Chain A
Amino acid sequence: MAYLAIVLRRVVQAIGLLAAVAILNFTLIHLAPGDIVSTIVGEMGGASEETIAELRRAYGVDRSYLEQLGIYLARVAGGDLGTSIYYNKPVFLLILDRVPATVLLLLAALTLALVAGTALGVLAARYPRGWFAAAVNLVSLFGFSAPVFWSGLMLLLLFASAIPILPPGGFYDVVAGAQGLAKALDIAHHLVLPATTLALIFLALYSRLARASMIEVLGSDYVRTARAKGLPERTVIFKHALRNALLPVVTVAGLQFSAMLAGAVLVETVFTWPGLGQLAFESILRRDNQLILGILLLSAVLVTFGNLITDVLYRIVDPRIKTDG
């Protein structure tokens, strides 16, 4: 099937892209001043020339850049992401441990931003002259321009401190030690603030996009046709207009997926959400290079995967894109 061939081609492209990203990551880390050995020696409070040389040999940093790159790529291709010097555990396991929290956060934020953003945008488009449209505009502008750490802290102050109805951080309540459904609910409770903070930035973007797109679609000839058929307004809006108006929103949501991942790093740090972002932030401070490389590579995988999903979704929503691209 042509469709399957396209997906396959996309996967091959994605692998090529990931290899390029891996090389770039490695090179950047390699170019950064200092390496594992200097970090270890720093921790030790200094060491002799021989010890340093021995450590450099042991960690393989005495070899040339190309040799190290080759070794790294071969290792990664074989599925080995190395060992974290801080945790002294395989990078893969450390990451695996954190992936669920990040994916949960991303999905919650994405869903919230898409659903709420589209709903607000559609309402604002439907009643373009009312106070509601003005309010949506204002909130959008605010959400769009306020930095994450600021809006995050404000929400934190408001809902965890001033009106303490939500937990200030963490993944779940370790002390309570709930299990099963109770634990799931507890996690959801902890998820509200970080997901809302992350969603807020994108909500602004999506609602403005949905509004503009909906206004355009409502003025289109095929919406006039739908009305001329005598369809009720509800059908005109939700069946004929919305699906078309969603096209640019879906596209941008896909393109923005990497930005959302980047935003997650900040949000996780603000709310001590035990995800990849927090881990990345900490490993950078600790110069835990293998772990950083692993996380970077995995983020690239996530983004590529996100784009792949967008692509498939887009094809479902828009029948005009069938075999090209």
Chain B
Amino acid sequence: MTRLLEVQDLQVEFDTWDGRVRVIESLSFALAAGETLCIVGESGCGKSMTALAIMGLVPQPTGHITAGSVRLAGEDLVRASPARMQAVRGNEISMIFQEPMTSLNPVYPVGEQIAEAVRLHKGLDRDAARSRAVEMLRAVHIPEPERRVDEYPHQFSGGMRQRVMIAIALACEPKILIADEPTTALDVTVQAQIFELLVELRETRGTAIVFITHDVGAVAEMADRVIVMYAGRKVEEGGVEDILERPAHPYTRGLLACRPTLVLGDPGARSELAEIPGVVPPLHQLGAGCAFAPRCAQALQRCGVAAPPETRLADGHAAACWLLAPSEGAAA
């Protein structure tokens, strides 16, 4: 498997009133060209921060990448110069966001917001960039693109704005698209349309996608592989069948157990999972052991003492849980 993107031992910390908080802890995963990787997990588990860290956009000045690397075709982006990162963003790696209503600049026409990226990265002149903008609006199925290219964001609905964001992201034909819960803020029917669009664009363009979601239905539809995150750590990783049919980690099992509410996009499902009591603990209060221990029905004595190592279960399927660790498996 050629590794287009490789995240290794990534660690992100924030300066807060409670001191330094580690929001991402030794996170490693890889993405192959053309592959779709889903990142799932409850609200606040660090999905967006992972995406921002890859983009080099961890909020300044309080956030820091304190360890690890993000390699794009071998080049470490964490250590890349600001100028190099500008050349990567929007060109080799693009990102669309959770908030379609506010992610477009209200004072510029949507066409200009697509065209400026193309002018910047591809050196196209104004006319060519504008044609490209129209072409991209057509590609994301916005009706009458020649007319709408000059309209402003407030003249578009939420779903249409997310389509414009996708057009911006894909205008320079990036190798990787990071989609951070692109449908969370949208109506259910519109959600389905955006999924469809992403699937279609992936087929036609071969873009690798990091798809961040709460929605297990979306995982089944989109994913080649899945990583499950909890409190800033990866707890399980595997192929989509591994995760959906043979989930190994107690947290993953809990997530899948409340699948129906997640599929409906019920906002209530975000705060407390039906099958897992309690909520994610404040990150600065995490102890040395398994972060999931306070909520885990199967917790062992040692779970509160030491963090569980990652155990390889099958080819490409691994989970971090003491229950699965070779010496403990039998005991449980």
Q: Which residues of A contact B (CB under 8 A)?
A: 129, 220-222, 224-233, 235, 240, 243-244, 317-320
Contact = CB atoms under 8 A, between A and B. Distances in A.
A228 B91 contact: no
Nearest to B178: A228
B220 interface: no
Given A243-B107, A319-B106, A320-B152, A224 B97 contact: yes
B86 A220 contact: no
A320 B154 contact: yes
Contacts of B103: 221-222, 224-225
A130 to B, nearest CB: 11
A229 B152 contact: no
Nearest to A240: B105
A262 to B, nearest CB: 32
A244 B95 CA distance: 23
B276 to A, nearest CB: 30
Contacts of B82: 233
A317 B106 CA distance: 10
Interface in B81-105: 82, 85-91, 94-95, 97, 99, 102-105
Contact of B57 (A129, A228, A233): A228
A243 B113 CA distance: 14
B4 to A, nearest CB: 18
B155 to A, nearest CB: 9
B222 to A, nearest CB: 21
Contact of B168 (A224, A225, A319): A225
Given A221-B97, A224-B57, A320-B154, A229 B117 contact: yes
Contact of B91 (A230, A232, A243, A244): A230
Contacts of A225: 97, 103-105, 113, 165, 168
A227 B102 contact: no
B55 A244 contact: no
Interface residues of B, number: 32
Given A240-B105, A243-B107, A319-B106, A227 B97 contact: no
A225 B117 CA distance: 11
Nearest to B52: A224
A308 B226 CA distance: 58
A163 B87 CA distance: 52
A60 B267 CA distance: 76
B117 A230 contact: yes
A-B pairs, top 6 by smallest CB distance, nearest first, are A230-B89, A229-B90, A230-B90, A221-B102, A222-B105, A229-B117
Nearest to B106: A320
Contact of B89 (A228, A244, A318): A228
A231 B152 contact: no
B120 A229 contact: yes
Contacts of B94: 228-229
B116 interface: yes
Contacts of A240: 105, 108
* A226, A233, A235, A318: most-surrounded residue (chain B CB, <10 A): A226
A231 B116 contact: yes
Given A320-B152, A320-B154, A226 B57 contact: no
* B91, B104, B105, B152: most-surrounded residue (chain A CB, <10 A): B105
B329 interface: no
A230 B86 contact: yes
Contacts of A233: 82
A262 B154 CA distance: 38
Contact of B107 (A129, A232, A317): A317
24 contacts: A129-B61, A221-B99, A222-B105, A225-B105, A225-B113, A225-B168, A228-B55, A228-B94, A228-B95, A229-B90, A229-B94, A230-B86, A230-B87, A230-B91, A230-B117, A230-B121, A231-B117, A232-B86, A233-B82, A244-B106, A318-B107, A319-B106, A319-B154, A320-B152
A192 B30 CA distance: 63
A227 B89 contact: yes
B89 to A, nearest CB: 4
Nearest to A244: B107
Nearest to A128: B61
Contacts of A226: 105
Contacts of A319: 106-107, 109, 152, 154
Given A222-B103, A222-B104, A224-B57, A230 B154 contact: no
Given A230-B90, A320-B154, 5 more contacts: A222-B105, A225-B113, A225-B165, A230-B117, A244-B105
